[in-house]
Amino acid sequence: MKIIYSPKCLDYCETSHPESPRRVRESFLFLKEKGFEFEEPGLCNEADLLLVHEEGLIEKVKNGNFFEADTPDLPGIYEYAKLSVAAAILAMETALKGGTSFSLMRPPGHHATKRRLGGFCYFNNLAIAVKKALSSVKRIAIVDLDGHHGNGTQDIFLGEERVVYLSLHQFPAYPGTGAYSFENCFNFPLSPGTGEKKYLEALAEALEKVKKFNPELIAVSAGFDTAKGDPLLQLNLFPSSYEKSGKELASLGRPIFSILEGGYSRELPKCIYRYLQGLIKEES
Ligand SMILES: [Zn+2]
């Protein structure tokens, strides 16, 4: 298990924004204490961004020429967002070489569509890594476990025959999409207060579809705002629930890379740790 991480991702901050550097810093320290190994991402270039995003969006982020209340125009955000993309790419490459990997970075990505940023996301880290991987593998399954619907990822891959997208998320909630499934995008909307039992049933149903699709690679949008006590959502999972999810994913026996998305409670470090434990236990 390799964790992709750069302390540079802690260097930007918007006062009282839930997507704070603290959440990643505390997770890094917790995982370090548990003995995990870390690797720093390199750089990504504009060609990588163009695999997914329209030039207009890239220019906007580069020049700070936008206003979005939840996704602020902060100094240097273009470089931070690119570093998060680079980490996702490295996580994907690690998985293709046979290792399991987790990108512990910010900003997150799954709300960024082809042409729009939003929901704390500037560029769609996971989508860019998946597009890049499609040059060496035939089929990829994306499992989006963030508590919000990944409207950006769905926008990017809708109708792409070589990708299947599955998302478990609270509904109704931000961004208001994900009530229905379309083509290759399967959505599992869950009511507030769902809890572990029903959640894991929905996950088992989603993973059946993954099995059927027979992917060569699995990409996970690993969000932890599904945890009990999260200030944004009410899906009420426990840290131990993530170990179960990790185990189920690993039991599919395919290379897996995971990218941190949301997760805003103080339990985030523990939730990530248990998720990784689940992935590793099945691995060994
Ligand atoms: Zn979320």
Q: Name residues whose C-beta falls within 8 Å of residue 120's C-beta, 6 or more positions apart in sequence.
A: 17, 18, 19, 70, 71, 107, 108, 111, 262
Buried b (16+ CB within 10 A) or exposed e, 214-247: ebebbbbbbbbbbbbebeebbbbbbbebbbbbbb
Q: How far is ligand 1, taken at its centre, from the CA of residue 123, in Å?
A: 15
Buried b (16+ CB within 10 A) or exposed e, 94-117: bbbeeebbbbbbbbbbbbbbeebb
Instruction: With residue 37 as reference, give the H or E element that holds it.
Output: strand 37-39
Q: How far is ligand 1, taken at its centre, from the CA of residue 270, in Å?
A: 17
Q: How far is ligand 1, taken at its centre, from the CA of residue 207, in Å?
A: 20
Is residue 275 a contact partner of residue 222, using CB atoms and an 8 Å limit? yes
Residues with CB under 5 A from ligand 1 (ion): 146-148, 223, 225, 262
Report H helices in the chain. 21-33, 46-50, 55-63, 77-96, 125-133, 151-157, 195-213, 239-250, 268-283
The predicted model scores a pTM of 0.98
The helix/strand count (H/E) of the chain reads as 9, 8
**Please, which residues bridge with residue 237 across strands?**
227
> Which CATH number goes with the domain that contains 194?
3.40.800.20
pLDDT of the residue at 234: 98
Is residue 31 a contact partner of residue 280, using CB atoms and an 8 Å limit? no
Tokens encoding 22? 């603290």
Torsions phi, psi of 215, nearest 5? -75, 160
Q: What angle do CA 223, 228, 234 make, to 5 degrees?
A: 80
Q: How far is it, in rounded angstroms, from Cα 190 to Cα 207?
A: 16
Instruction: Quick: pLDDT tens for 246-281.
Output: 999 999 999 999 999 999 999 999 999 999 999 997
Per the listing, tokens 């599919």 go with 252
pLDDT of the residue at 282: 54
Q: How far is it, in rounded angstroms, from Cα 91 to Cα 258?
A: 7
Q: How far is ligand 1, taken at its centre, from the CA of residue 217, in Å?
A: 23
Instruction: With residue 218 as reference, give the H or E element that holds it.
Output: strand 217-222
Active site residues: 111
Q: How far is ligand 1, taken at its centre, from the CA of residue 284, in Å?
A: 30
Q: How far is ligand 1, taken at its centre, from the CA of residue 115, in Å?
A: 20
Q: Which domain holds residue 168?
A: 2-283
Low-confidence stretches of the chain (pLDDT beneath 50): 283-284
Give how many domains the chain has, as a whole number: 1
3-class DSSP state of 197: helix
